[in-house]
Amino acid sequence: MTDSKLEFLHCCVLDGHGGSDAVDTRSLTQGKTSQGVLWIHLDVNDDASRSWLKKDSGLESVIVDSLLADETRPRSFSTEHGLLVVLRGVNTNPGQDPEDMVSVRVWIEQHRIISTRRRRLLSIIDIHEMLNEGIGPKSPGDFLSTIVAKLADRIGDFIDDIEGRVGEAEATMDTRDQTQFRQMITTLRHQIASVRRFLAPQRDALDRLYRQPGNWLSEADIRDLRDEADRITRYLEDLDLAREQTMVLREEFLGRLAQEQNSRMYVLSVVAAVFLPLTFVTGLLGMNVGGLPGLDSPRGFLGSLVVMVLAAVGLLTFFRAKKWL
């Protein structure tokens, strides 16, 4: 070990029965142990952990680069030495947006598992607690299927929340403030797009896992991974349906908004049409020229009113006959 200050987030040996035994990092040589399956989980934001991964882990540089990458899309590939899997889970950290998905990178060998993270991921904490309770994964393949299942569980909870909020938006469209409704739909569409961006390649990565497995995956592990890939596919279909629902809601909202605007413009147009002849009469009679009818008559004003009333009534009658009112 090159750095005495090195501290792994988790460092234990799977006992093969669902439990684990803690391992002192100073006792490791090249990150390997002959007792069971060694699991090392580290934070790549830590300089000592990065240094150990580069110098003392014994991994190829391409694998190290993948484990240390800043931004990664879900993927998986196997070599003759092991299997690299990059997965994403919803961000459940306090104050964070769930759609800002957190990545976990896992390198699996026959007797060693190395996982890395940049941000806290509850699925890893769940596995550690399961090992402490004696109900954790028993093999590298079991570890992989367990973490995939834990990530999928929280993704499922997030999608259920999305579906519930879409249903709420549909139910309250008539009563909710227009600005709030528009913001709600925009937020939902943004979250759906953000999650789907990583969920689609995650499904493909899991599909490749069970179709081209390594020798360290048992038939049970392959079956579990296939089931999880099918579950991710169902989640993608649910997201697609939710996205379509938000598009329909948005179109209906815009249609109703346009209808309301058209109704208001129609009322204004009718009012303007009614007052148009009245304005013409008042403008005509308001000219300061000689010869205007009724200029010297005491009944001139009354006559003007009668003409304007008759013009308005006649125009309204015409509109009603045309069924414009």
Cα–Cα distances (Å) from 166 to 153, 162, 176, 245, 269, in that order, read: 20, 6, 13, 7, 37
Is 196 within the bounds of a domain?
Answer: yes
Q: Do residues 225 and 301 both lie within one domain?
A: no
Boundary residue ending a domain (256, 276, 307) = 256
What string of DSSP letters covers 214-275?
A: -TT--HHHHHHHHHHHHHHHHHHHHHHHHHHHHHHHHHHHHHHHHHHHHHHHHHHHHHHHHH
Question: Which residue segment(s) compose the domain that 282 sits in?
Answer: 261-321
Is 188 within the bounds of a domain?
Answer: yes
Q: Do residues 98 and 228 both lie within one domain?
A: yes
Q: Do residues 186 and 304 both lie within one domain?
A: no
Q: Do residues 309 and 203 both lie within one domain?
A: no
Q: Do residues 217 and 142 both lie within one domain?
A: yes
Is 3 within the bounds of a domain?
Answer: no
* pLDDT higher than threshold 50 for residue 3: no
Whichever domain contains 308, its CATH number is 1.20.58
Give the chain's mean pLDDT: 84
Is 2 within the bounds of a domain?
Answer: no
Is 42 within the bounds of a domain?
Answer: yes
pTM of the predicted protein model: 0.76
Q: How many domains does the chain have?
A: 2
Going by C-alpha positions, the residue among 2, 200, 231, 167 that lies closest to residue 101 is 200
pLDDT in tens, 149-203: 999 999 999 999 999 999 998 888 888 888 888 889 999 999 898 888 888 888 8
Q: Do residues 188 and 299 both lie within one domain?
A: no
Is 122 within the bounds of a domain?
Answer: yes
Q: Do residues 291 and 235 both lie within one domain?
A: no
* pLDDT higher than threshold 70 for residue 307: yes
- Between CA 116 and CA 120, with CA 117 as vertex, the angle to 5 degrees is 140
Coil, strand or helix: which one is 64? helix
Is 1 within the bounds of a domain?
Answer: no
Q: Do residues 125 and 201 both lie within one domain?
A: yes
* pLDDT higher than threshold 50 for residue 1: no
